[in-house]
Amino acid sequence: MFKEIYKDDTTLKTLLDGKWIESSTGNLIEIVSPLDNKVVGKVQAMSKEEVDDSIKNARKAQKLWRNVPLNKRARILYRAADLIEERVDDFVEIMLREVGKDRKSSESEALRTADYIRFTADAAKAMEGESIPSDTFPGFKRNKVSIVTREPLGVVLAISPFNYPVNLSASKIAPALIAGNSVILKPATQGSISALYLARIFQEAGLPAGVLNTVTGRGSEIGDYCVTHKLIDFINFTGSTEIGKRISSISSMKPLLMELGGKDAAIVLPSADLNVAAKNIVSGAYSYSGQRCTAVKRILVEDSIADTLIEKIKAGIEKLKVGNPLDGDVDVVPLIDSKSADFVEELMKEAEEKGATKVIGGSREGNLIYPTLYDNVSLDMRLAWEEPFGPVLPVIRVKDKDEAIEIANKSEYGLQASVFTQNINDAFYIADKLEVGTVQVNNKPERGPDHFPFLGVKSSGIGTQGIKYSIEAMSRPKAIVLNIIE
Ligand SMILES: O=C[C@H](O)COP(=O)(O)O
């Protein structure tokens, strides 16, 4: 483990202007593991004044960073990617304890992050500007040319969530940096240790002082201050729709890139390969206990095949390993905190009271909710519309594809959806009508591969992520028009 970021065995510092420092407030926030309720670390509760210093410092550093040649910026990113691979075991240990992610998923998150960072450097090097002649527009001669390049935006505020504390920090930091921005990283409190460790990696990789500063503290104390700070030029946020809406309402005139909640539907037609559908639905709904914005969060299935599909899904659920990842390999882990588990329980209870049929699961031990499947979920139940962010999946039976489309589109969310069918006409018919960012045909919803565009519509987000798209979002065109004097 990097000792530089620690004050003592459990207390972490924060990164400001290339130095790891403690907050002058003396206040710390305890991070409690969802696995055993033990304190895994304490992070600095920074004051508004300290946040202000951090942002001002990042602004100063950005002026220099902008002028560092892109190939040199890329070299730092390549080094950071290598270091993540070298330190993968550290990341696994930290994520396991801090956010309760099982070892296999933690490892794949760290390795995916290294690939993401490398690909970002490659993509930026391959991006070219353009020169646009004037005489293609009516009334203009060949005496002008617009030379278009890309400029950084300035200081990017990256706010990352607990569920991918490394990957969803890096997928904001790397595109921002390669585009020439400096970054203020404000991780979710639960996830801060992983994010601070990542910041140390970038520092070790040779990032100049101030180009990446970290801000830790309670969202309720410094959250609004960060997002409304006049020196923040761009906000890249992943988290709940509720917080996303708040950021968007108070951060007037700041460009935003947001990945928010989802209620991704898996639509299953009689023409589907039901084994493929069931396998994808099980891994899509229950991996990391459904704590993913792209988890399958409802099944819309035609009545004629519902019983068969449900049997297959049930069989898949029975094979899942459930428990504490400290004790071995598991698929379904305890939820991040008891408040989250309470919420999931509340949705289950309401569905049962209103007549949903429990197919499997339903029990809880502490924060661990067993993978649960409900059949006959009706549209008056909260489980049909709300996002549990837990391992609970409702089956809504429909009469045909049009009813499936109608219910899918009634959701306030529009992240992704899956269509399972072997009929290409039905696949395109449905995909064309779904109000979502991405439709997966015969696959579970998922963000990757990370160079694909990733976006949500309606309450699921603003803007488009994905490596090239994120670089474009965090830069702007700059046109220099050359006028030829004749
Ligand atoms: O939780 C939100 C993530 O962007 C989902 O990513 P994933 O589809 O790779 O799990």
Question: Over the stretch 118-148, which tens digit does the pLDDT of each residue have?
Answer: 999 999 999 999 999 999 999 999 999 999 9
Residue 327: Cβ-neighbour burial (10 angstroms; 0-12, 13-18, 19+): exposed
Span 342-358, pLDDT tens digits: 999 999 999 999 999 99
Is 259 an annotated catalytic residue?
yes
DSSP for 140-179? --SSEEEEEEEEE-SEEEEEE-SSSTTHHHHHHHHHHHHT
Best substitution site from 167, 241, 292 to test ligand 1's pocket, by max atoms within 8 Å of Cβ? 292
What DSSP character marks residue 382? G
Query: In the structure encoding, which two tokens stand for residue 380, read together?
Result: 């008056």
- Mean per-residue pLDDT for 244-273? 97
| The two three-digit tokens of residue 199, written as one number | 């910041």
Q: Which of 168, 450, 455 to mutate to test the pocket of ligand 1 (most atoms within 8 A of CB)?
A: 168
Residue nearest to atom 9 of ligand 1 (CA): 447
Residues 102 and 232: beta-carbon distance below 8 Å: no
Q: Is 226 a catalytic site residue?
A: no
Q: Which ipTM did the prediction report?
A: 0.97
Using the mean position of ligand 1's atoms as its centre, give its distance from the Cα of residue 45 in Å: 28
Ligand 1 center–CA 383 separation, angstroms: 21
Name the pLDDT band for 9 (thresholds 50, 70, 90): confident
Catalytic residue among 259, 302, 387, 446, which? Answer: 259
| Ligand 1 probe mutation, 162, 446, 455, most atoms within 8 A of CB | 446
Q: How far is the CA of 295 from the centre of ligand 1 (A)?
A: 8
Domains of the chain in sequence order: 3-260 (3.40.605.10), 265-459 (3.40.309.10)
Work out whether strand 372-375 and strand 357-360 pair parallel, antiparallel, or are unpaired: antiparallel
Instruction: Give residue 486's pLDDT.
Output: 84
The pLDDT tens digits of the residues spanning 135-193 come to 999 999 999 999 999 999 999 999 999 999 999 999 999 999 999 999 999 999 999 99
Q: What pLDDT digit, counting tens, does each position of 374-416 carry? A: 999 999 999 999 999 999 999 999 999 999 999 999 999 999 9
447 CA distance to ligand 1 middle (Å): 5
Closest-lying ligand 1 atom to the alpha carbon of residue 446: 8
For residues 44 and 435, give the distance between their C-alpha atoms in angstroms, rounded to a whole number.
42
Mode of pairing for the β-strands spanning 39-44 and 28-32: antiparallel
In angstroms, how far is CA 4 from the centroid of its own chain? 28
Question: What are the pocket residues of ligand 1 if the criterion is a CB atom closer than 6 Å to any ligand atom?
Answer: 163-164, 259, 292-294, 446-448
pLDDT bin (cut points 50, 70, 90) of residue 2 is confident
d(C-alpha 383, C-alpha 354), whole Å: 11
Q: 421 — phi, psi (to 5°)? A: -165, 155
Atom of ligand 1 nearest to the CA of 168: 4
24 Cα–ligand 1 center, Å: 36
* Helix (H), strand (E) counts: the chain: 14, 26
Candidates 50, 98, 109, 293; catalytic one: 293
